[in-house]
Structure 1
């Protein structure tokens, strides 16, 4: 690996161990073996490096969840149920990643460049969810992404009282019953 890749790998490790807010450039330099100037050379700022590492880590985690789903020709309800179970399980097993993800999102509010990149990745995620679980309907992908964000925050704050996959299914059915016919 080159210096850029070493910095990204070290940053991903630091994010998992310390979280976004507590990862310092000294931590990254120590873990990567690179020098401080390499961060500025390759990424411009610490926040750009952290954000890039976070986007890559999150993308990898979500892709692993989608790859572990039953085949596309499986009953859509079973496929969605499997997704909720795997996602919620990952909130526990990969808690540091998901906590750093929330911290990273908050940082994007303060940087137009990070905000734009995050918005672009969110659009890609909606499209991926649309195809993986939403039967091609973009509105379904948007709802799924919205549910995932709220579910993540609830599981990080109080996993014992956060919704289960069964609660989500029941709640979605109840809400759908309230919608007026199109």
Structure 2
């Protein structure tokens, strides 16, 4: 590998071990066996390198589950299979999600990095739709990304926050799938079939 690839792999390693905020340029250089000048030459800045490394980690994370979803049917089954995979691979998944939350909760501490990650949101949503519906990314339009993609992203982000906060109380794949099914049924049920005060009947 050349310095560019070495830097990327070193940055991925640092993100998993230290997260965005605590990773320094010297950490990346040490992990990659390169030099400080290489970061600016190949990526422009440390934050740009870390952003590309984070996107790479997300892509690798998704690839782990893509093959396992190939034989699944509808979206509920595919989401259940995806969440089962997340839980089974929690040691690898947790650092990736923790790193993204670190930036999200940092408010204005790292505006350049936040802007770079925000720019990658559409790509992530498009990938989630493809994983969870089996639809090729090339067939998805902007409305798909902003509606279905945002919905899937919110669900997955919420699940990971629950798991990071307290793995023992986080919903299992079976529980979450059942919750999604019940919510969908409640939202599509005619109004007259709801209980008192508009509460859906079980």
SS in 2 for 1:5: helix
Provide the C-alpha distance between the structure 2 equivalents of 1:54 and 1:144, rounded to a whole number of angstroms: 19
**CA drift at 1:168:** 1.4
**CA drift at 1:117:** 3.8
SS in 1 for 2:29: helix
Structure 2: which 5+ runs fail to align?
Answer: 191-202
**CA drift at 1:93:** 4.0
**CA drift at 1:107:** 5.7
Structure 2 match to 1:172: 180
SS in 1 for 2:69: coil
Structure 2 match to 1:2: 2
Structure 2 match to 1:42: 42
Note the aligned Cα RMSD (angstroms). Answer: 2.7
> May I ask how many residue pairs the two structures share in their alignment?
180
TM-score (norm 1): 0.82
After superposition, the Cα gap between the structure-2 partners of 1:58 and 1:132, relative to the gap in structure 1 and judged at 3 Å, is: closer
Structure 1: which 5+ runs fail to align?
Answer: none
Structure 1 match to 2:55: 55
**CA drift at 1:177:** 2.5
The residue correspondences of 1:92-171 to structure 2 (distance < 5 A) are 92-106=91-105, 114-134=113-133, 138=144, 139-171=147-179
**CA drift at 1:7:** 1.0
Deviating above 6 A after TM superposition, structure 1's stretches of 4 or more consecutive aligned residues are: none
